[in-house]
Amino acid sequence: MVDPKHPAYKAFKYIGRSRRAVEHRRFVTGQGHYAADVVQPGLLHVAIVASPYASARILSIDSSAALALPGVHAVLTGEELNSAISPMLPGVDAPKVARYPLAQGVVRYAGEWVVAVVAESRALAEDASELVCIEYEQTPHAVDPEAAMAPDAPQVHPAHGGNIIWHRKFTWGPVDEHFAAAEHQLSYRVRWARSSTVPIETFVATCSWNDATQILDVWASIQMPKYPDLLAKCLHLPGNGVRVHYDVDVGGSYGVKRGLKHTILVGFLARKLGRPVRFLEDRLENMRGGDMQGPDRIFDVSFAFDGDGTVRSMRMRAIDDIGAYAGRSPLQLGKPVGAIVGPYRIASVEYDAYSVMTNKTPQEAVRGFGQAPTNYAIETGIDRIARYLGMDPIELRRKNLIDKDSFPYLIPSGTYYDSGDYEAVMDKALAAAPYGDLLKQRETLRAQGLLAGIGVSTCLEPSGGNSAFEPLFNPKNETTTWMDSCLIRIDLNGAVTALMGTSTAGQAHETLVSTVVGEVLQREPDSIRVLHADSLNSLPSNSPVGSRMAIMLGGAAAGAAKILRDKLLTIAAHNLEVAKDALTYEDGSVYLQSNPARRMSWDALVEIAHRKYHCMPEGMEPGLQEKFCWEVPSGGKMPTEDGRVQMYPCHSFESHVVLASIDQQTGKTHLHRYVVGHDCGVMISPDVVHGMTYGGVAHGLGAALLEKFAFSEEGQLLSGTFMDYLLPSAQEVPSITIVDHCTPSPLTEFGQKGSGEAGYLGGPAAIASAINDALAPVGANIDELPMTPQAVWRALRAAGVKEAQ
């Protein structure tokens, strides 16, 4: 829980306190306002006809039987839709890799949307979709990313010229020299299978077009930067022709809800039909064609190190299979550049990154934006080095961790880590386990005939977001802005309302903002109302991505509140006829330090601002409403020629300690103890931070042990329902202990760092570490996720373990 002794918290009245989240009251009573709850009169419903093949030409589409079914309003094909819109383009320079909501001419993955049927009800739309006749001619397809890289492989987008949509090799520092000079080297391959954070709510978009106002209203379960703008562009609407209602509660996203293609489709249909239209993905559509699958990576890594355990240099080749189209997915190879050495003092790095297209469901952003797989790849190496040298993996980490006096620490790829004390966090986690007990328990479990292992991971959580990977991966895209805003008003009755300009998917932003504003204005946070603006009346935001909102929205709210507080002080100074610095602001009222009886109350100040212009300082605006919009700290710089840039501003850190056992006969893993040491600077809402950390651990556990979007040789998704794609339940996730540490960030108002990806970024690495520690005594190991019982059993059998035969 919150470390009450940490001096950073002493300064605060509300920040860092346990507080009930504002949002929860409506959720526990079933009064949430989710996209599917939005009912519009005359609402029509969409069902999709999807491609059954991974790669094919569309020969013909016959919609006549579908259109004839009573209650069907439209059957839309790509031919009609795509001529009326602009395509979605990738985040890298690949203009020939264009994506439209509906396929036209060819299909590139099994599950790609071909026809959209619109009817009075979803059930009718599904009935009609069965009547649509589509003739296909199958063409060769590519499903293996390494095979797809070959020049003679079947091309997903022939016009692009090859399946590698993006590639760059970065060399930061004298890598060859360091490898030559080091005493030892080792190399390995690890695979991070395709998985995702799979929210329980699927993507939903409802659109309504008004002919008179020429506004497209959108209610969607969205978590995406620049969504209204991109939507408007693709639909050929002016920027102020789209109104996205950010007050829709989003039922979980963790990165993936980027339903631009869904919304373009629905927006088009709403305008065409003059009726509100909703597309609510069912789970089958979501899994196969919702385009929310995550990184799918092969890492080939080499480390150069000395006999005393000092790690000198790293070479990492990452091949990421992004599927048939690219949204922001190639950029998920870019964000990890900002923490490419993890928490270690590695002096040089070569990073060779390939983003490869195959005939599979497209990849989209997932929690961590590529950092979790990269951390897994790095931590695997650290454990392997320890095993190679016969060193304790904890001592090896201790030897290489960046020490607390080295911050801000510049890593070879150009990012400064702002602050940290990695060893302290690791030690706290070890103490909380407690590590000595885990060692004993491991022996006991081994004596019972189980395999048992302790895993440790020490991993970076870059936070705060930045657009820096965009110009890094596409020099033509010169962009450096990554901002957020807040508007606060104090009304005539003295009540405070704050306005934020993006959606929330469980991160408790209303609680965040009201705590921050309460802290600065010194007013009770529960009295502060936080509203979600819509995209027409909001100030700019770049969405809750990259663990940025505590920093950016928190910073914007603090900024606006500070301006307001200063305004109140100025009004008081003017009315008390003293200098501002003679005054003290306390809980919303202002008094003279030398004579506290001379004071002005909150209500009096509010009255003056709203009603007594004659008492206002000269030239001051009437009313009490202030905004603050700011750029990500340490942002605003373009990358260098050799690809160095400050990626994210603030760096949180986590260390997991896990005790696992493996049943040698079944290969099944059981987690006995799970501890996370976590440092995200000052926590504004500790309960929120802890909640997301527990959830991140569960996501990590799923990726490590259970979850995989598996494809057949024919490019068919084999795990397209919840019967085959396995989400961990309360029976699979163990009890988790979190211990907090605090290294405040020098870059933020309160010392806060972001933490929305906590738990997930270090979890799979730690579980793999534990399982490989358990397997090591029998000469087995696993370097591929998920580490399912069958995979573990195969490793045991290959190592000749008797019970596995």
Partner 1 sequence: MSFSPVNVEIKVNGVIQPRTVEPRTTLVDFLRDHLGLTGTHVGCEHGICGACSVLLDGEPVRSCCMFAVQADGMSVTTVEGLAPQRGCLSKMQDAFCETHALQCGYCTPGMLIACHALVERTPQPTEAQIRDAIGGNLCRCTGYQQIVDAVKLATSPGYEVKSAQAKGSGVAHG
Partner 2 sequence: MKAAPFEYIRAESLEHVLERLSQHGMDAKAIAGGQSLVPMMAMRLARPTVLLDIYRLPELRQVNIEPDRVRMGATTRQRAIEYEIDLHKALPLVRDAVRWVGHIQTRNRGTVGGSLVHADPSAELPLAATVLNATLRLRSQADGERQIPAQEFFLGPMFTATAETECLVEIEWPVWQGAVATAFEETAMRHGDFAMASAACQLQLDEDGICRRAAFGVGGVDGTPRAFPELARQLVGQRIDESVAREIAQIALQQTEPGSDLHADADYRRHLGVVMLTRVLLKAAQSHHSAPALQH
Distances (CA, A) of 223 to 256, 260, 510, 544: 7, 10, 16, 7
Contact string 461-500 vs partner 2 (x = CB under 8 A): ----------------------------------------
Applying CB under 8 A, which of residues 8, 15, 21, 382 lies at the interface with partner 1?
21
Applying CB under 8 A, which of residues 80, 93, 126, 423 lies at the interface with partner 2?
126
803 near partner 1 (CB under 8 A) = no
Question: Which residues does residue 401 pair with via DSSP β-bridges, in sequence order?
Answer: 344
Residue 545 has, within 13 A of its CA and on its CB side, a CA count of 26
Between residues 20 and 440, which has the closer beta carbon with respect to partner 1? 20
Q: Which does 26 bind (CB under 5 to 8 A by kind): partner 1, partner 2, none?
A: partner 1
Shortest spacing between CB 55 and partner 1, in angstroms: 28
**What is the C-alpha separation between 105 and 94, in angstroms, rounded?**
20
Amino acid identity at 382 = I
**What is the C-alpha separation between 609 and 249, in angstroms, rounded?**
34
The token duo for 627 is 């905004």
Residue found by looking up tokens 């997301």 in the block: 692
41 near partner 1 (CB under 8 A) = no
Between residues 554 and 695, which has the closer beta carbon with respect to partner 1? 695
What is the side-by-side order of every strand in the sheet holding 528-532? 528-532, 496-500, 483-490, 625-631
**212 Cβ neighbours under 8 A, 6+ residues apart:** none
670 near partner 2 (CB under 8 A) = no
Q: Which does 22 bind (CB under 5 to 8 A by kind): partner 1, partner 2, none?
A: partner 1
Q: Which does 30 bind (CB under 5 to 8 A by kind): partner 2, partner 1, none?
A: partner 1
Q: Which does 510 bind (CB under 5 to 8 A by kind): partner 2, partner 1, none?
A: partner 1
**Helix (H) or strand (E) run with residue 670 in it:** strand 669-679
In DSSP notation, 22-81 reads: TTHHHHHTT---BGGG---TT-EEEEEEE-SSSSEEEEEEE-HHHHHSTTEEEEEEHHHH
On whether the CB atoms of residues 682 and 8 are closer than 8 A, the answer is: yes
790 near partner 2 (CB under 8 A) = yes
**What is the C-alpha separation between 459 and 32, in angstroms, rounded?**
35
691 near partner 1 (CB under 8 A) = yes
**What is the C-alpha separation between 183 and 292, in angstroms, rounded?**
44
Applying CB under 8 A, which of residues 128, 134, 322, 508 lies at the interface with partner 1?
508
Distances (CA, A) of 373 to 239, 593, 684, 720: 37, 56, 28, 22
283 near partner 1 (CB under 8 A) = yes
CA 455 from centroid of its chain's CA atoms: 25
Q: Which does 710 bind (CB under 5 to 8 A by kind): partner 1, partner 2, none?
A: partner 2
Between residues 533 and 796, which has the closer beta carbon with respect to partner 2? 796
On whether the CB atoms of residues 722 and 209 are closer than 8 A, the answer is: no
**What is the C-alpha separation between 323 and 715, in angstroms, rounded?**
10
Which residues in 698-757 contact partner 2 (CB under 8 A)? 706, 710, 718-719, 721, 723-724, 726, 728-729, 731-732
Q: Angle, to 10 degrees, between the axis of helix 260-273 and the axis of helix 227-234?
A: 50
602 near partner 1 (CB under 8 A) = no
Q: Which does 719 bind (CB under 5 to 8 A by kind): partner 1, partner 2, none?
A: partner 2
**What is the C-alpha separation between 559 and 551, in angstroms, rounded?**
11
666 near partner 2 (CB under 8 A) = yes
Q: Which does 24 bind (CB under 5 to 8 A by kind): partner 1, partner 2, none?
A: partner 1
**180 Cβ neighbours under 8 A, 6+ residues apart:** none
Between residues 634 and 664, which has the closer beta carbon with respect to partner 2? 664
Q: Which does 23 bind (CB under 5 to 8 A by kind): partner 2, partner 1, none?
A: partner 1
Applying CB under 8 A, which of residues 733, 761, 771, 804 lies at the interface with partner 1?
733
695 near partner 1 (CB under 8 A) = yes
Between residues 687 and 714, which has the closer beta carbon with respect to partner 2? 714
420 near partner 2 (CB under 8 A) = no
Question: Which residues does residue 171 pair with via DSSP β-bridges, in sequence order?
Answer: 350
122 near partner 2 (CB under 8 A) = yes
**What is the C-alpha separation between 766 and 379, in angstroms, rounded?**
8
Q: Which does 200 bind (CB under 5 to 8 A by kind): partner 1, partner 2, none?
A: partner 1
Applying CB under 8 A, which of residues 203, 793, 795, 801 lies at the interface with partner 2?
793
279 near partner 2 (CB under 8 A) = no
On whether the CB atoms of residues 155 and 356 are closer than 8 A, the answer is: no
* Span of 205-213, 575-583, 645-653, 782-790 interacting with partner 2 by CB under 8 A: 782-790
Shortest spacing between CB 233 and partner 1, in angstroms: 28
Size of the chain in residues: 805
69 near partner 2 (CB under 8 A) = no
Q: Which does 793 bind (CB under 5 to 8 A by kind): partner 1, partner 2, none?
A: partner 2
Between residues 283 and 670, which has the closer beta carbon with respect to partner 1? 283
37 near partner 1 (CB under 8 A) = yes
**What is the C-alpha separation between 355 and 334, in angstroms, rounded?**
10
Between residues 20 and 169, which has the closer beta carbon with respect to partner 1? 20
**Helix (H) or strand (E) run with residue 456 in it:** strand 451-463
Applying CB under 8 A, which of residues 138, 481, 721, 790 lies at the interface with partner 1?
721
Contact string 214-253 vs partner 2 (x = CB under 8 A): ----------------------------------------
What is the side-by-side order of every strand in the sheet holding 215-220? 72-77, 113-119, 44-50, 277-280, 204-210, 215-220, 242-244
Applying CB under 8 A, which of residues 106, 198, 516, 556 lies at the interface with partner 1?
198
Residue 745 has, within 13 A of its CA and on its CB side, a CA count of 32
Contact string 240-269 vs partner 1 (x = CB under 8 A): -------x-xxxxxx---------------
13 near partner 1 (CB under 8 A) = no
Shortest spacing between CB 734 and partner 1, in angstroms: 9
789 near partner 2 (CB under 8 A) = yes
Which residues in 129-148 contact partner 2 (CB under 8 A)? 130
**What is the C-alpha separation between 595 and 574, in angstroms, rounded?**
16
- Is the peptide bond preceding residue 540 cis, with omega within 30 degrees of 0? no
Shortest spacing between CB 283 and partner 1, in angstroms: 5
Beta-sheet pairing, 311-323 with 409-410? unpaired
The helix, strand and coil proportions of the chain, stated in percent and rounded to the nearest 5, come to 30, 25, 40
* Span of 4-12, 198-206, 211-219, 555-563 interacting with partner 1 by CB under 8 A: 198-206
Beta-sheet pairing, 348-357 with 133-138? unpaired
Applying CB under 8 A, which of residues 40, 665, 716, 737 lies at the interface with partner 2?
665
Shortest spacing between CB 739 and partner 2, in angstroms: 28
Applying CB under 8 A, which of residues 262, 288, 315, 532 lies at the interface with partner 1?
532
For partner 2, the binding residues (CB under 8 A) are 121-123, 126-127, 130, 282-284, 665-666, 668, 706, 710, 718-719, 721, 723-724, 726, 728-729, 731-732, 788-790, 793-794, 804
